[in-house]
Amino acid sequence: MKIVVGVKQVPETDSVKIDPKTNNLVRSGIQGIINPFDKNAIEAALQLRDQAGGEVILLSMGPDSYTTSLRDGMAMGADSAVLVSSRAFGGADTLATGYTLAKAIEAIGDVDLVLFGRQSVDADTGQVGPIVAELLNFPQVTFAETVSLESENTIVAKRQLDSAVQDVQVTLPAVVTVRKELNTPRYETPLNIKESFEKQITTWTENDLNIDFSKIGQSGSPTKVTKVYEPTKELKQTTVLPVDPTEAVSELLSKLD
Amino acid sequence: MSITNDQNQMLIQMIKEFTTNELAPLDMTIDANGDYPDGLLQKVIDTGLLGITLPREYGGAGFDYVAAAEALEKIAVGNASMAVTLEGHFKTIEQFIKYGNKELNEKYLPSAVKRIFAFSMTEPSGGSNPKGIATRAIKQGHNWVITGDKIMITNGGLAEVYCVLSKTQDDQMAVFVVDKDMPGFKFGKREDFIGLKGVPVGEIVLNHVVVPESHLLGTIGEGLEIGDNAHADARVLMGAVLTGITDHALQTAVSYSKERKALDTPLYQLQVTQEKIADIAIAKQNTQALYQKGAQNKITGRPYAEVAAMAKSYGSRSAVAASDKALQILGGYGYSHEYPVEHLIRDARAMELAEGTIEKMNFEITNAEIAK
């Protein structure tokens, strides 16, 4: 089974600060980590590989520094990694990113399953997985809370939606985006860390992929971000009710009037 | 940055994550219960921590001593007991790597990723004094028959493979490897120590345990050298553990002094507090510098026994003092089981004794200085 896992490097949430003068994110000195949901996707891939055999390939698009996250993913146990990296991909929105990743997955070839985290914690769109599925014409399951192999070419997944749970069966190849409830990602191990430096990270530029140049980077991105701002915080008024239940109920009722 | 640095950095990041999630939350429980909770050691084993220093050819990760020591420092910030359990294991593996023959190492080292190894020297009649060793190894054909009593072994009872310092029939010192499953091997009593409550420190009793010739570590007559080497290796790692304990005291003191106010002034703004916090921070840096120099000297083939003794001598005294200062900052809370500082004092105090007392360290440091 050949499984590709989409990995995005995001700023470590704890270390993100906003410059009080400019209101911009302070990016310098911030450590990049694997998008936490993507770790669940890697764990799911490793479990499926351990069960059915095959390989787990990590795929990311971004600058050279993204190798840090790919290395981390390989230290969890993934077999190899592909980084799509070039200035030509810069400024890509979710559509251009999805297109580029889909083309990379085609280039990897014979992929049975593509896994993504449900969304990234920095952009929160949750769009890239579904876009990749559409472009590859693969069936897709989003927000999966369980994923298991039903037969050689079928998986079943449980989708957790706002008000319902949906059991879905799809034929491979397919795209699945996963929730954090799916599993607990394993720790890297000291041996896997050493081995991750012996595994391959292949870097592809736009010239290595069979792509339409108008669909990548800024030119392939219809989304325009006009403004990024911190929402104003409204201070809600809080009333602490008395400890005595009778008094508390009567005060509550008077507030509701 | 070199690949080694990148790898070491990843190891430390992974260790910090494991410590924060799995060890630090159990620190108080381990101290209160006097043992590791069920499943914790298995988690440590499953995460591959026993194999950090074990060479790749035996299934380990093959990290060097600098990385391993830093890993123990970070683990000790979360729980000093687990750091000491790993210290006892790592120092023993070092003796196999340096002195073990091929047959012995191929037989035992692959299991060191799953089984804990221990080094036993002390006997009821004495600790660091080799003359007091009563354990006897008698040659019979191609085997050695070992009889004796070893006490105060770090991980005694938990470890499955023991290096045993013994005297041969012609009074030569030698170290033999004994497996807990061998006939004649028995576990004895576990010490009821006041600190490092998770680490079992116990006794093994050997009654005519028969081992093949290949179980001899090094050569006959090399026993004391191996013992000294094991001490030096242990003391480097203990310096790391003591740095972690001091850091734990520092973090607790800093966080408390930011929250707690005296007459509307946060404690950290008071000079009496600042003096203590500065002392703790300086102690941490000093111990760290000493153990790191020891580890660096070891991996580059330079002498490290003296600086290792300094790391343990200075590190243990300053960690006890630092934890006591943290206790004073926390006041009544510091004296309570509700906060960790009181057990940090008890934990650090162990290392003023283990692997040679402070007095023994100072004796060795002085001898080294006199010989220069």
Q: What's the fold here for domain B224-370?
A: Butyryl-CoA Dehydrogenase, subunit A; domain 3 (1.20.140)
The verdict on residue A217 lying in a domain is: yes
pLDDT tops 60 at residue B1: no
Q: For domain B117-220, is the CATH number 2.60.40.1930?
A: no
Contacts of A192 in chain B (CB under 8 A): 48
Per-position b or e across B306-319, b if 16+ CB within 10 A of its CB: bbbbbbbbbbbbbb
Under DSSP, is residue A143 helix (H, G, I), strand (E, B) or coil?
strand
The verdict on residue A256 lying in a domain is: no
**Residues 321-350 (B) with a CB less than 8 A from some CB of A:** none
Quick check: is B275 catalytic? Answer: no
- Read off the amino acid at residue B67: A
Q: How far is CA B172 from the centre of its chain?
A: 27
What's the complex ipTM? Answer: 0.94
- Which pLDDT belongs to residue A219? 87
Q: Cα separation of A16 and A26, whole Å?
A: 7
Mean pLDDT for the stretch of residues B112-138: 89
Q: Is any Cβ of chain A less than 8 angstroms from the Cβ of B4?
A: no
- Which pLDDT belongs to residue B354? 94
The verdict on residue A252 lying in a domain is: no
- Which pLDDT belongs to residue B132? 80
Q: Tokens for B355? A: 């692997």
Share of chain B above pLDDT 70, in %: 99
Domain with CATH 1.20.140.10 in chain B: 224-370
Mean pLDDT for the stretch of residues B213-223: 97
Q: Cα separation of A66 and A87, whole Å?
A: 14
- Domain extent for A223: 2-229
Distances from the Cα of B67 to the Cα of B6, B7, B17, angstroms = 11, 9, 16
Which parts of chain A register pLDDT below 70?
13-18, 20, 22-28
The verdict on residue A245 lying in a domain is: no
Contact flag B18-A187 (C-beta cutoff 8 Å): yes
User: Could you tell me the pLDDT band of residue B252, with boundaries at 50, 70 and 90?
Assistant: very high
- What is the total count of domains within chain A? 1
Domain with CATH 1.10.540.10 in chain B: 3-113
Evaluate whether B133 touches B173 at the Cβ level (below 8 Å). Answer: yes
- Please, which residues bridge with residue B110 across strands? none
- Which pLDDT belongs to residue A15? 65
Q: Cα separation of A27 and A196, whole Å?
A: 27
Evaluate whether A139 touches A102 at the Cβ level (below 8 Å). Answer: no
Which entry of B203, B352, B355, B364 is annotated as an active-site residue? B355
The verdict on residue A28 lying in a domain is: yes
Q: Which residue of B has its CA nearest to A72?
A: B10
Q: Cα separation of B190 and B195, whole Å?
A: 13
Q: Where are the alpha helices (DSSP H) in A86-152?
A: 94-108, 128-136
Q: Cα separation of B197 and B57, whole Å?
A: 34
The CATH number covering residue A128 comes to 3.40.50.620
Domain with CATH 2.40.110.10 in chain B: 117-220
- Which pLDDT belongs to residue A228? 73
pTM for this entry: 0.91
Evaluate whether B147 touches B207 at the Cβ level (below 8 Å). Answer: yes
Q: Cα separation of A89 and A18, whole Å?
A: 27
Q: Please, what CATH class does the domain formed by B3-113 belong to? A: mainly alpha
> Mind listing the pLDDT tens digit for each residue in A70-119?
999 999 999 999 999 999 988 888 899 999 999 999 999 999 999 999 88
- Read off the amino acid at residue A136: L
Token pair 């060795």: residue: B364
> Mind listing the pLDDT tens digit for each residue in B338-348?
999 999 999 99
CA angle B247, B248, B252 (to 5 degrees): 115
Q: Which has the closest alpha carbon to A5: A137, A122, A108?
A: A108
pLDDT tops 90 at residue B249: yes
